[in-house]
Amino acid sequence: MHVIVGLGNPESRYAKTRHNAGFMVVDRLAARHAPGEPLRSRFHAGTVEARIGSARCVLVKPTTYVNRSGLSVSEAMAFYKADPASDLVVITDDVALEPGEIRIRASGGTGGHNGLVDIERALGRTDYSRIRIGIGATPPMMNQADYVLGRFTPEEWESVDPAIDRAADAAECIVSEGVTPAMNKFNTRSARGRAADEAPGDTHPGWLGETNDQPGRGSS
């Protein structure tokens, strides 16, 4: 069973915010492969099982807020006895990528994203596929939590909407063909994104540090 997890915040007030890009991809996948199927509440998440090509998959939207995503992911992985290296795909937003860019990696650091930090804590490993969707850098003098919890501007959405579709295509490719073919086919990079990938520690200032019980950049 392939476990495809989109990161985001569960309350309706966070719908279609930048930080919910992962949820949006899972919604697209559900519309394609399980149309009309209701979400089932389990693993501290809303889930739906689907078949993508010949691959059996469960689509997962954690209801724990982003910074506690590890609970949902670890429960789903344990239930299906799945191997993170071959069976897990995590989809998340990324301020190091321009709106409209996506980036696939087979493993790696958290980039300072607290959802990935918590998944790494819960699983005790980093060798799982992740799809990162660009939401653009936080504007100068703006609080990062306010930025990521805000909605895309109409201009940004023109780039992000097709990127959500490409990220869904990439997830399909990962479970059908493997992560390496998906990286070769879908990775797109700007100069700023390449520089972020090459930065020591693979971290982004300001991404960490909020408390774990308040919606915001750290917990949301």
Topology (CATH level 3) of domain 2-202: Rossmann fold (3.40.50)
**Residue type present at position 154:** P
- Look at residue 202 in the predicted model and tell me its pLDDT: 41
Q: What is the pLDDT of residues 165-216, one digit of tens each?
A: 999 999 999 999 999 999 999 986 554 445 555 444 443 333 333 333 344 4
Residue 141 pLDDT more than 90? Answer: no
Chain centroid to CA 195: how far? 21
8 A C-beta contact, residue 67 and residue 219: yes
Q: What percent of the chain is predicted at pLDDT more than 90?
A: 65
Q: What percent of the chain is predicted at pLDDT more than 70?
A: 85
Q: Which of 38, 114, 128 is nearest to 83 (CA)?
A: 128
Copy the structure tokens of residue 171.
């997830």
Spans of all domains in the chain: 2-202
- pTM assigned to the model: 0.85
Residue 144 pLDDT more than 90? Answer: no
Q: Provide the 10 A C-beta neighbour count for residue 24.
A: 24
DSSP secondary structure of 93-156 = EETTS-TT-EEEESS---TT-HHHHHHHHHHT---SEEEEEE--PPPTTS-HHHHHTSBPPHHH
- Look at residue 189 in the predicted model and tell me its pLDDT: 57
Residue 40 backbone zone (phi > 0: left; psi -120 to 50: alpha; other: beta): beta
Quick one: average pLDDT of 11-22? 90
Question: Which position has the higher pLDDT, 8 or 205?
Answer: 8
What does the alpha-carbon distance between residue 109 and residue 112 come to, in Å, rounded to a whole number? 8
Residue 97 backbone zone (phi > 0: left; psi -120 to 50: alpha; other: beta): beta
In whole angstroms, how far apart are CA 150 and each of 142, 153, 211, 214?
Answer: 11, 9, 19, 16
- Look at residue 190 in the predicted model and tell me its pLDDT: 52
8 A C-beta contact, residue 91 and residue 133: yes
The mean pLDDT of the chain is 85
8 A C-beta contact, residue 7 and residue 111: no
Report DSSP state, residue 17. Answer: B
Q: What is the pLDDT of residues 45-81, one digit of tens each?
A: 999 999 999 999 999 999 998 989 999 999 999 999 9
User: Residue 114 — pLDDT band, cuts 50, 70, 90?
Assistant: confident
- Catalytic member of 2, 19, 33, 113: 19
Is 19 among the residues known to form the active site? yes
- Look at residue 191 in the predicted model and tell me its pLDDT: 45
Q: Which of 59, 79, 206, 82 is nearest to 139 (CA)?
A: 206
